[in-house]
Chains A and B, each alone.
Chain A
Amino acid sequence: TQLLEQSPQFLSIQEGENLTVYCNSSSVFSSLQWYRQEPGEGPVLLVTVVTGGEVKKLKRLTFQFGDARKDSSLHITAAQTGDTGLYLCAGGGGNAGGTSYGKLTFGQGTILTVHP
C-alpha cells in the first residue's frame, strides 16, 4: 500500500512569513500533484510534477519533486491571507492494467492559516 505523509498537519503564520509543507513516502510515484481546498469546495489542482528533481513555480509558490520521486515540498514566499486553506499532496502512477493505475494516493493534508 502506498502512503503519503504530510507535515506539518497544521500551520498558523502571520502574513508576510515564508513556509514549507512536506510530503514524504517510502514509495516511488510517477507524478506528484498538489491541490488546494477551500471550505465548502472540492480540492483544486495547483500543479503536477513528473520528473525527479523538477522544480515548478506558480507566482509565490514553489513546488519541488525529490530526485528519487518519493517526496515533494511546497514553499510559499511572503504568505498572504488568501493562501489560507487545506493543501493536499497526491501521488500518481502504477502500471497500466494494475489496480493502482488511474488513481491518486492523497496525503492527510496541511491546514494553513495566514493571519493579517
Chain B
Amino acid sequence: DAGVIQSPRHEVTEMGQEVTLRCKPISGHDYLFWYRQTMMRGLELLIYFNNNVPIDDSGMPEDRFSAKMPNASFSTLKIQPSEPRDSAVYFCASSLGGRGGDQPQHFGDGTRLSIL
C-alpha cells in the first residue's frame, strides 16, 4: 500500500514568494496532520483535520500560514508571503481514528523548505 505522499521533496525559493506544500494521506485514514520540524524546536504540530474539517489550528504560527483539505485524499499547506524563518522540514501525517490519539500516525518523507 502507498504511504503518505508529500510533494515537493525539496523547495528553495526567495523570501516573499508563495509556497504550497501538498499531501496525499493514506486511503481510508480520517485524520491528517501537518508538522514542522527544526533542530531548535523539534517536531511542532501546526494543524490537524478530522474528516476534512480543521480541528485545531492553534499551532499555525501566523496568518501567513493556511491549510486546506478539500477532500479526503488531498491537503495543502500554504505560506504567503514566505520568510527565511519558515525554513524547516514540513511533514504530513495521517492516522485512522477510533481511539483518537492512541492511533499510530503515518508520516510522509517531508518537504525540506529553504527560504532565501
Contacts and interface: CB of A to CB of B under 8 A. Distances in A.
Contact of B56 (A33, A103, A108): A103
Interface in A62-116: 88, 90-94, 96, 99-104, 106-109
Bin the interface of chain B by size.
20 to 34
A41 B109 contact: yes
Interface string B72-116: 000000000000000000010101010111111111111000000
B107 A48 contact: no
Nearest to B97: A102
Contact of B101 (A30, A107, A109): A30
A11 interface: no
B60 interface: no
A19 interface: no
A96 B100 contact: yes
B55 A102 contact: yes
Contact of A45 (B31, B99, B100, B104): B104
Interface of A: 30-31, 33, 40-45, 48, 50, 88, 90-94, 96, 99-104, 106-109
Interface of B: 4, 31, 33, 42-43, 45, 48, 50, 55-56, 58, 91, 93, 95, 97, 99-110
Q: Which 7 A-B pairs have the closest CB atoms?
A: A42-B107, A92-B101, A31-B102, A108-B42, A45-B104, A102-B100, A101-B100
